[in-house]
Amino acid sequence: MQKDFIYCKQEWKPGNMLYPVPAVMVTAADKEGRDNIITVAWTGTVCTNPPMVYISVRPERFSYQMIAGSKEFVINLTTQELAFATDYCGVKSGRDVDKFAVLHLTRQKASKVAPPLIGESPVNMECRVVQCIELGSHHMFLAEVVAVHASEAYMDHTGKFHLEQAQPIVYSHGAYYGLKDILGTFGYSVKKK
């Protein structure tokens, strides 16, 4: 690609162009014990201490009322093996189908919250909602992470966790992508040779 071509840009109307983003499956449950899985791509880290994350959900989504009512959810990281399930949970409504049953996913009991973990996920983060901020098309659930579960299948003999071995995926402009090569590690740009 010619360098000059990179600098030629079009101005577009305001929109969300922050890509790629993580594609996660969020589990939620209501007070009667019914649960659901919703795929969320608008999620991220907010704070280290206390550990906090957010998810943004449209109020008309089936899981929204579960999360708003219980003030709890679980973020389940996704992998290439879970790509089909990730997409399915984003396009099918829990009003019509039990996604755990249809996708043959394993419900695992969480330790601190009511919604289940997805057993096939390499990392599950149990979350308690601290605040719901109504922003427009989506409402943002700001939450504290109260427990993390990491699969021993991706730990080496020293106990170090290797998420890359689970082949995590990201979402960008309507498509799911796998992650390939490591380009560097934190601080490599200033590391002495």
76-88 mean pLDDT: 97
Cβ proximity of 115 and 70 under 8 Å:
yes
Q: How far apart are CA 167 and CA 164, in angstroms?
A: 5
Q: How far apart are CA 111 and CA 175, in angstroms?
A: 33
What residues does 82 pair with on adjacent strands? none
Q: Which residue has the higher pLDDT, 7 or 94?
A: 94
Tokens read off for 43 = 């999620």
pLDDT at 167: 96
Cβ proximity of 26 and 37 under 8 Å:
yes
Q: How far apart are CA 140 and CA 143, in angstroms?
A: 9
Q: How far apart are CA 7 and CA 2, in angstroms?
A: 10
149-174 mean pLDDT: 95
- Tally of structural domains, the chain: 1
Specify if 74 maps to a domain: yes
Tokens read off for 29 = 């449950």
152-180 mean pLDDT: 94
Preceding omega of 22 cis (within 30 degrees of 0):
no
pLDDT at 3: 64
pLDDT at 185: 83
Specify if 123 maps to a domain: yes
Range of the domain at 171: 19-178
Cβ proximity of 72 and 114 under 8 Å:
yes
Specify if 187 maps to a domain: no
pLDDT at 99 over 90: yes
| CATH number of the structural domain spanning residue 99 | 2.30.110.10
Q: How far apart are CA 98 and CA 75, in angstroms?
A: 18
Specify if 42 maps to a domain: yes
Specify if 54 maps to a domain: yes
Specify if 11 maps to a domain: no
Specify if 9 maps to a domain: no
pLDDT digits (tens, 9 = 90+) for 58-71: 999 999 999 999 99
What's the chain's average pLDDT? 94
Q: How far apart are CA 80 and CA 168, in angstroms?
A: 6
pLDDT at 111: 98
pLDDT digits (tens, 9 = 90+) for 1-22: 566 667 888 888 988 888 999 9
pLDDT digits (tens, 9 = 90+) for 122-148: 999 999 999 999 999 999 999 999 999
pTM above 0.85, yes or no: yes
- For 61, residues 6+ apart whose C-beta sits below 8 A from its C-beta are 38, 93
Specify if 188 maps to a domain: no
Cα dist. 104→100, 107, 186 in Å? 6, 9, 37
Establish how many alpha carbons lie within 13 A of residue 110's alpha carbon, considering only the half-sphere containing its beta carbon. 26
Number of CB atoms found within 10 A of residue 51's CB: 15
pLDDT at 2: 60
pLDDT digits (tens, 9 = 90+) for 107-122: 999 999 999 999 999 9
Residue count of the chain = 193
